[in-house]
Structures are given as structure tokens and as C-alpha cells.
Amino acid sequence: MSSLQIKNLRKSYGSVEVLKDINLEAESGEFVALVGPSGCGKSTLLSIIAGLESVTSGEVLIEDVVVNDAAPKDRDIAMVFQSYALYPTMTVRQNMTFGMECRNIDKATQNETIKRVADLLQIEPLLNRKPGQLSGGQRQRVAMGRALVRDPKLFLFDEPLSNLDAKLRVEMRSEIKKLHQNVGRTTVYVTHDQIEAMTLATRIAVMYQGVLQQYDTPKAIYETPANVFVAGFMGSPNMNFFDAKIVAQSDQLGVVIDGGDGAVLPLPSDRHSTLADGQSVTFGVRPEHFSPAHDRRAERKGGVSVVVPVHVDMDEPTGAETILMVQIAGQDATIVCEPDGAPNPGQDMDFEIDMQKISLFDPESGVRL
């Protein structure tokens, strides 16, 4: 059963269309991440699901019931806000009971629920404090607690971790994942952080300029991005894009990077169907799919790889890996490699590209070929 369905949804403010024909479906228990740069419409979409914004056209269904005109309180949802939105004059306990009070739940059940949720989130010592007396991480927990006292059809998260410092964010991220595994409720999670989306979601909806670009599992989004935008947005450092051409060479197709020495990078045979000799393409390679030529990493995994000469401009060691800013055939690129044996700035070195993992896009439309 699908617990959330969005059909042909459009939203305009005056003449500005912020959501353009969104179609989305979440199975029961799924964790859907809405991800995209700011202004892409992801928060508006969440507000529409919550009932805080109206729909211009299209339908929103929760458990197969159209809720377009239902008030937020009648949708049986719980939401965690980016600002946490804790009621400042109430204690943590009152913050959590407020919703139950509104729904006329008796005191005994309220206390039971508070106890269960406080145990789950380990916020029992905080129950009698006011939000102003809590740290950022504690407030975040309380905000989740306020959502969890309810057993809703949908959990909605609006960038809940973006106000936390980096370390706490990673901690809370895994807690949210654990929580979702325990509670098992359908969750819609808005974030601009593609790593959060990748780590948490069962399916990711990538949005850009009000259009849903791709809706798929994290693995599929990462490995087979639907267009140049998705390819560039997901993954850090960004995917490299080279202007290139397809060439036919003894019934084998290959890619030649523009401006280089003309070396042909042979394509795996399962990628031939839609390509033609002489076609211009955007050639996408993720930074981690380069490896030093002497490692012969791709061959050891049974793949095809090609050697390209690389000039290193700059390096950024992160400890676990080293990021290299390089030039390949006169075009800028980024390579991730192991810190041991990483070349120094100014050096030339041969790298090989794992041709199984590359992406090709139409240079005009940006669509995956």
C-alpha cells in the first residue's frame, strides 16, 4: 500500500510556478528524501503535504485518501521543523503533551506516551526544562519527541539537522535512521545535504527549479543519474564533466575528450545502443573512479579502464583521502585518491578511468544517454 501519493501537483504564487507537475509515491514505511538546492521547491512540497500550503492543481493522497482540502490537524501527520519551533513558554513536557491535549487524549495515556518517548530519546532529565535552557542537540531531540508522541501516518522532517554543528549532525543523522528503523513509519525528509539524503533515504527525490529530476534509490541515483543536474548535485566532490565526442573504432565505440591527445577511451559494449559515431557528448566521471595507473584497480575487478595523463594543480588532503584539482586535456577536473602515493602539485601522472562507472549525457538537453 502506498501511504503517500502526489499526482500532477502544481503550485504557483501569482505568476511564479514553484512546483511543476510533481509525481511521487511512497510505499508504507519508506524513507523518502526530498533533496535539491535552495529555492528548488522542496520545502514548499513538504508544506503542501503537511497542509500548511494550498495546492494550485493536482492531488495529494495520504493512505489513498485525497487530502487536498484537509486541515493539517486532520491529516494525521507529525512534523519536525528546521527551527525546531518549540513553544518557548512551555516546558519540554508541555511541548510534548500540547498536541495530545488538542486531540483530547486522557492524562493517563499522555503520561504513558511521554514516558515511552522520553525513554526512547533519552530526554527524561529534560522534561521540566524550558526550550531556552536546552542546547541545540537537546532541542533537536525534543522536537523529534514532540513528533513521536503521535503515531502518525506520516513523519515530515524539514531540514532538521541544518542548525546543528557538523559532529552533532552526523550523530543525529544515525539516530534518525535508527529511529526510523524502530518506528517504521513512512517519512518524508527535506534536506539540501546530499549526504544526508544518501545515508538516510530508501528513495531520493532530486528536485531542481520546481521540477522533479529523478526519483529512485540512492544507489541508482548515484550510479545512473538521469541528467547532468542530478549527476552534479549528488556526490561530493562533484562529478567531472568533459566535453567529448564518440568515435567508432573497429566496431567498438569509444570516447575522445576534446582538446586532448586524441586517445580513445573504449566504452563497455553494453553502452553502444544509442550512440553514433561523431556524436558530441558530455562525459561524466566521478572523482573516485579515477585511480593511479600503476594500481590497475579496474582490471583487478575485471573491468575495462583507460589511462589518461593528468596534470595536478592543487591538492586538498582530508586525511582519509586526498582530493586533487587537476587538468585533463586542458579541462578542469577533480580526482579523489588515497593519500599514500598521491602526486604533489605541479606533477604529471597517469590515472586510469573505470569505464564501467562513467556516465554520458546529451550536451544540449543534459539527459543521460
Q: Please name the residue that has the C-alpha cell 544507489.
A: 219
78 interacts with other proteins by CB under 8 A: yes
118 interacts with other proteins by CB under 8 A: no
Instruction: Measure the CA–CA gap between 325 and 350, rounded to whole angstroms.
Output: 14
In the complex with other proteins, which residue's Cβ is closer, 83 or 174?
83
Phi, psi for residue 303 in degrees, rounded to 5: -100, -175
73 interacts with other proteins by CB under 8 A: yes
In the complex with other proteins, which residue's Cβ is closer, 154 or 221?
154
Q: In 3-state terms, what secondary structure has residue 271?
A: helix
- Span interacting with other proteins, options 24-32, 71-79, 231-239, 327-335, rule CB under 8 A: 71-79
362 interacts with other proteins by CB under 8 A: no
- Span interacting with other proteins, options 81-89, 181-189, 274-282, 347-355, rule CB under 8 A: 81-89
In the complex with other proteins, which residue's Cβ is closer, 98 or 168?
98
In the complex with other proteins, which residue's Cβ is closer, 72 or 303?
72
Q: What is the 3-state secondary structure (H, E, C) of the chain?
A: CEEEEEEEEEEEECCEEEEEEEEEEEECCCEEEEECCCCCCHHHHHHHHHCCCCCCEEEEEECCEECCCCCHHHCCEEEECCCCCCCCCCCHHHHHHHHHHHCCCCHHHHHHHHHHHHHHHCCHHHCCCCHHHCCHHHHHHHHHHHHHCCCCCEEEEECCCCCCCHHHHHHHHHHHHHHHHHHCCEEEEEECCHHHHHHHCCEEEEEECCEEEEEECHHHHHHCCCEHHHHHHCCCCCCEEEEEEEEEECCEEEEEECCCCCCCEECCHHHCCCCCCCCEEEEEECHHHEEEHHHCHHHHCCCCEEEEEEEEEEEEECCCCEEEEEEECCEEEEEEECCCCCCCCCCEEEEEEEHHHCEEECCCCCEEC
Tell me the closest approach of the beta carbon of residue 98 to other proteins, in angstroms. 5
- Span interacting with other proteins, options 80-88, 118-126, 181-189, 211-219, rule CB under 8 A: 80-88
363 interacts with other proteins by CB under 8 A: no
- Span interacting with other proteins, options 15-23, 48-56, 215-223, 262-270, rule CB under 8 A: 48-56
Out of 39, 58, 72, 136, point to the residue binding other proteins (CB under 8 A).
72
50 interacts with other proteins by CB under 8 A: yes
Tell me the closest approach of the beta carbon of residue 154 to other proteins, in angstroms. 11
* Ranges within 87-106 binding other proteins (CB under 8 A): 87-90, 98-99, 102-103
85 interacts with other proteins by CB under 8 A: yes
Tell me the closest approach of the beta carbon of residue 74 to other proteins, in angstroms. 9
- CB 206, CB 221: distance < 8 Å: yes
301 interacts with other proteins by CB under 8 A: no
Instruction: Measure the CA–CA gap between 78 and 71, rounded to whole angstroms.
Output: 13
Phi, psi for residue 221 in degrees, rounded to 5: -65, -40
In the complex with other proteins, which residue's Cβ is closer, 132 or 346?
132
How many of the chain's residues bind other proteins (CB under 8 A)?
A: 24
* Ranges within 134-153 binding other proteins (CB under 8 A): 146
In the complex with other proteins, which residue's Cβ is closer, 139 or 357?
139
Half-sphere exposure of 23 (CA within 13 A, CB side): 2
- Span interacting with other proteins, options 29-37, 75-83, 106-114, 351-359, rule CB under 8 A: 75-83
109 interacts with other proteins by CB under 8 A: no
**Single-letter code of the amino acid located at 258:** D
Tell me the closest approach of the beta carbon of residue 70 to other proteins, in angstroms. 12
In the complex with other proteins, which residue's Cβ is closer, 94 or 202?
94
Tell me the closest approach of the beta carbon of residue 4 to other proteins, in angstroms. 16
Contact positions vs other proteins (CB under 8 A): 50-52, 71-73, 77-79, 81-85, 87-90, 98-99, 102-103, 132, 146
